[in-house]
Structures are given as C-alpha cells and as structure tokens.
C-alpha cells in the first residue's frame, strides 16, 4: 500500500490530494489541503509573478512539504501550471522552494492538456470527447480519441487573467462583457467549428464545478454529485445571467459558489456561455477529476495509463474499500444474474440493466461497514455520496435504489424521479425482485442453492432451487417476496427445491 500526494500550483489555488492505493488494484482519496494563492495575480499585465503571489505560493509548498514529512507520504509530486509556465521570473520561485526538498515540475501546455485527457479517459465510459480545462490563467482544449490524447492547445483565457484584463466594474458592464467575449472568440473561434456535437464536451477545473453546483442548487438537483453532472445550456444561461446582475459581495453568498471564487467566476461563466452559444452544443459534461488525477494514474497504472474497463474497475474499487464476505457476494451476483437471464421473457431488459443489477449485487452489503441494522439504507447513502466512475447519474441512482430495497420495502424512485427515463419505475421493481430473491436464496450464506431453473407459465412462474441439500431457510425466505415478484412480473411465484448433490458436496459426504 502506498500514499501518494499530488499537488498542482495553479493561477488561482494550490491543492494537494492524497491517494492511498495499491498500484493497479485499488485507490481512494484519503486527504487533501487547499490554499488560495492567486499565483497569477497581475501576471497578465506584467508578465511576472508578484512578490505577494510568490510568498503565498512558497508558503503553500512549505505547507505541503511539511505535511508530506509529518504523515510519511511515499511520494509528493508538485505540478506547476499556467502561471509558472508563463511567468518571466518563474526561476525565482523554483529557487525559493528548492531548499524545501519539494521540486516543482512545471508542465507545458500540452502536458497539462494530456493529463486532463487522462483524467477524463479514466473517469468516464467514453471513447471520444473534447476536453476543456479552464483554470485561473489558461484554458486547454484537447481532443480525446479512443481514450487517448490526440492534440490540444493552451490559450490565455483563465478566469483570473480574463477578470483582470476585462472586468473592472462590479458588476461587469455590458461593454466589458462584449470585450471579453470578443477576446475569447479571437482565441477559440476557429477551434469551435470542430465541436460539432459528434462527441461530448467534458469540462474540468474548479470554475466549471462551481457553475455546476450553482445550477444544482438552483434546481434542487437530487444527487449531491458533480462528477458526471450534465450542465445544460439553459442552466448555464440562467446562472450566468444571475451572476452578471450581482456585485461581488452578493455573489459570495450564492448557494453552490465557493466565496473564494466570487470575484473571478463571472469570467469563467462567460467563457463557457460563449462556447455553448458558438458551437450550438446543448450541454457540458462535468468532470470531478482533473490534472491531479491524471498525474496520479501515471503512478497507479502502466502505460498507456488506462483502466481497461472504467465501470467494472469503479465497482471493484468501491467493493475493496468496503469489504464484504467474498463468497457470499459472488453467490449473490451469480444468482441475481441467473434470475435476470431466466426471466428475460417477462422483462425484455438488456445487458445494460443486467450490469446495473450486477453492480448493486456487488455492493449490496457495503452499508454493513457502518452497522448491520438498516445497512441497506447506509449502503444506498454511501453510493450517492461519491461517484461510481463511468456510470451516469441516472444509472447511479438506480444502483443506489437497488441497494436500498434489496432487503425490504416497496421500490420507488422517490426523489430520484427527475433523473429517470420512461419505464424506470418498472425496471426498478423487476431488478429489485431479482436482487431480493438472490439474497433470499443465499440466506444461510452457505452456498446451498447452486442454481435456479425457471419455467414461465401463463399465470405463474415455477422456480426450482437446485441444491445439495434441502434449502429450508432459503425457501422460507424467498417465499416472503412472492408479492413483490407478482407485482414486478405479473405472475405468481411457485418455489420448489430440487436436491441434486454435486460430486464431493457435503450432502454426498
């Protein structure tokens, strides 16, 4: 097990994230420190880091280095981005932090863009995308194809830089807004023609995450997650219009907006508003991962630094953080999948729904980490509190609901109804029936029910439990859920036990 710290020193903030991991196997974020350093303050006018900005940045590095020593990090990697890349006096900063034993790697614009693409490739179930990283000093627009970085370019369009260059009034005047938009058009107008909607636009960085949170708060979004959120053009227009009417003092109190960004958020909003207007795209897919995560994958994975299957790894990674009895979980997954397959004539669902069922089966008892009693509720809460990478918010809501109802209760969409598609109420009921019956058939946790055989009739379904010995507990438990099965599939459920001992089983001695 290793503890790896990755920090980026941006134009607006410096942030350290600590990953605890077993390379190639699992990881989780276990700590973090953030400092607002405004390293890019005044850089656009003078081309140099100011004395105060240098002092703030050096203090942040000193803090990170001391933390690394005190907590015994196996590795600390410090990344410099736009401000350090562009500053004429960047060597003064490098010399100032050298005695701290924490060398800073200053990324080129292309290296920064490539790390952003790596974060997106390992955070979403996407093969192709455009990736926009808007920071304090610059914006990188990159192309991802077959999950790999193809090309990208850096532009002086960061939120700090644009605010200082164009937005002198509080709130900004219409003339200032137009001037900023013209500058963005001069930089990105040619590239924007390529963003034709054939692939999604994924945005990373603190600016767009704050815009997304504001939109979520304004519309009472049911999931407390940013990663995977789709910020629509309509929602962005509403947020931007609100910001343009407010002075900074009022912006600091806006729900979802970090007060530290209140003075620069308008510039960032205008860049993204311009981009959606110019391209005609309907939405931006928000990434909760960025340069730090992209850099981490350089340590966690072998080249080309790609998880083979983002969704499968995400479920496995979560399961390893919340240990459950392996044999029991495997049996539940196998039985749930078998029930799903045997009942296809009644539900007509596809492999997409089967995958959601399998994910829920893999994590159904994760809530026991907190307490056995009501662990189904604990497990559901844990699923919506942190993203499963690669899954959409709708899919994540369905997985959480399956975990929530895998033991008892009448399955319902509840507060997640706004995320649902037509037919999801029925899907939830049918998938819950499969998972709850699978749990019942493994009630003794002894693996007695090896298989199920199903015969679908006009008014009933006969389910035969193939077992080494009489599965009394399993039959008793499964019978309790006949009413749910009947509501889900429109058939009575009849249960039978078939003793068919395997060679070498306990039943045969």
Residue stretches of the chain with pLDDT short of 50:
505-509
Q: Which of 88, 23, 26, 102 is nearest to 58 (CA)?
A: 102
d(CA 419, CA 229): 11
Q: Taking the CA atoms of the chain, what radius of gyration do you get in angstroms?
A: 26
| Domain 110-289, architecture per CATH | 2-Layer Sandwich (3.30)
Residue 459 carries which DSSP code?
S
Q: What is the pLDDT of residue 509?
A: 34
Q: What is the pLDDT of residue 504?
A: 52
Strand order, beta sheet including 460-467: 449-456, 460-467, 492-499
Task: Kindly list the domain boundaries of the chain, sorted by start residue.
Answer: 2-107, 110-289, 311-508
Q: What is the pLDDT of residues 109-122, one digit of tens each?
A: 899 999 999 999 99
Residue 83 carries which DSSP code?
H
What predicted TM-score, i.e. pTM, was given to this entire model? 0.93
d(CA 249, CA 229): 28
Equal CATH topology for 2-107 and 311-508: no
Q: 311-508 in CATH: which number?
A: 1.10.3210.10
Q: What is the pLDDT of residue 503?
A: 58
First-to-last alpha carbon distance for the chain, in angstroms, is 42
d(CA 436, CA 361): 10
CA-to-CA dists, residue 82 to 43, 88, 180, 295, 411, angstroms: 10, 12, 19, 16, 50
Q: What is the pLDDT of residue 505?
A: 47
Three-state DSSP class for residue 71:
helix
Q: Which two tokens stand for residue 268?
A: 């960032």
Three-state DSSP class for residue 12:
coil
Q: What is the pLDDT of residues 304-354, one digit of tens each?
A: 999 999 999 999 999 988 877 889 999 999 999 999 999 999 998 999 999
d(CA 441, CA 435): 10
Which CATH class name applies to 2-107?
Answer: alpha beta
Q: Which of 245, 242, 232 is nearest to 272 (CA)?
A: 232
Show Cβ contacts of residue 334 under 8 Å, excluding neighbours closer than 6 positions: none
Are 45 and 168 in contact by the 8 Å Cβ rule? The answer is: no
């Amino acid at each position: 097990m290793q503890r790896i710290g990755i920090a980026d020193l941006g134009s607006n903030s410096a942030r350290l994230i600590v990953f605890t991991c077993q390379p190639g196997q699992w990881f989780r974020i276990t700590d973090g420190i953030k400092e607002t350093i405004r390293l890019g303050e005044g850089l656009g006018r003078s081309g140099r880091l100011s004395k105060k900005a240098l002092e703030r940045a050096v203090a942040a590095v000193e803090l990170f280095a001391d933390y690394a020593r005190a907590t015994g990090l196996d590795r600390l990697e410090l990344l410099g981005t736009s401000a350090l890349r562009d500053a004429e006096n960047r060597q003064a900063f490098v010399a100032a932090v050298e005695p701290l034993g924490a060398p800073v790697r200053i990324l080129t614009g292309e290296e920064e863009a490539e790390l952003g693409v790596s974060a997106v490739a390992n955070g979403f179930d996407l093969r192709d995308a455009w990736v926009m990283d808007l920071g304090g000093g610059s914006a990188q627009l990159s192309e991802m194809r077959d999950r790999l970085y193809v090309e990208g370019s850096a532009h002086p369009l960061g939120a700090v830089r644009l605010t200082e260059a164009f937005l002198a009034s509080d709130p900004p005047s219409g003339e200032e807004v137009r001037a900023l938009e013209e500058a963005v058009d001069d930089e990105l107008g040619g590239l924007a023609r390529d963003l034709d909607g054939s692939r999604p636009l994924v945005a990373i960085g603190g600016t767009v995450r704050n815009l997304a949170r504001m939109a979520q708060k304004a519309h009472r979004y049911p999931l407390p997650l940013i990663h995977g959120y789709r910020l629509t053009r309509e929602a962005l227009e509403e947020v931007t219009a609100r910001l343009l009417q407010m002075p900074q003092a009022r912006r600091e109190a806006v729900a979802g907006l970090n007060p530290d960004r209140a003075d620069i958020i308008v510039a960032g909003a205008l860049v993204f508003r311009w981009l959606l207007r110019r391209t005609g795209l309907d939405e931006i897919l928000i990434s909760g991962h960025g340069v730090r995560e992209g850099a981490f994958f350089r340590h966690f994975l072998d080249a080309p630094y790609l998880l083979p299957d983002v969704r499968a790894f995400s479920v496995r990674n979560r399961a390893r953080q919340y240990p459950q009895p392996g044999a029991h979980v495997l049996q539940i997954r196998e039985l749930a999948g078998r029930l799903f397959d045997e009942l296809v004539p009644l539900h007509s669902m596809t492999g997409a729904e089967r995958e959601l069922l399998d994910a829920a089966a893999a994590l159904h008892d994760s809530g026991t980490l907190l307490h056995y009693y009501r662990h189904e509720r604990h497990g559901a809460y844990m699923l919506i509190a942190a993203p499963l990478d690669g899954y959409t918010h709708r899919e994540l809501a369905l997985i959480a609901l399956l975990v929530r109802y895998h033991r008892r209760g009448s399955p319902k969409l509840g507060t997640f109804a706004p995320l649902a598609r037509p037919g999801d109420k029925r899907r939830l009921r049918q998938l819950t029936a499969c998972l709850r019956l699978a749990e019942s058939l493994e009630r003794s946790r002894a693996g007695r029910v090896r298989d199920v055989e199903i015969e679908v009739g006009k008014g009933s379904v006969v389910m035969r439990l193939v077992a080494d010995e009489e599965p009394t507990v399993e039959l008793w438990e499964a019978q309790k859920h006949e009413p749910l099965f009947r509501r889900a599939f429109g058939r009575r459920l009849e249960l039978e036990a078939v003793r068919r001992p395997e060679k070498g089983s306990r039943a045969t001695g």
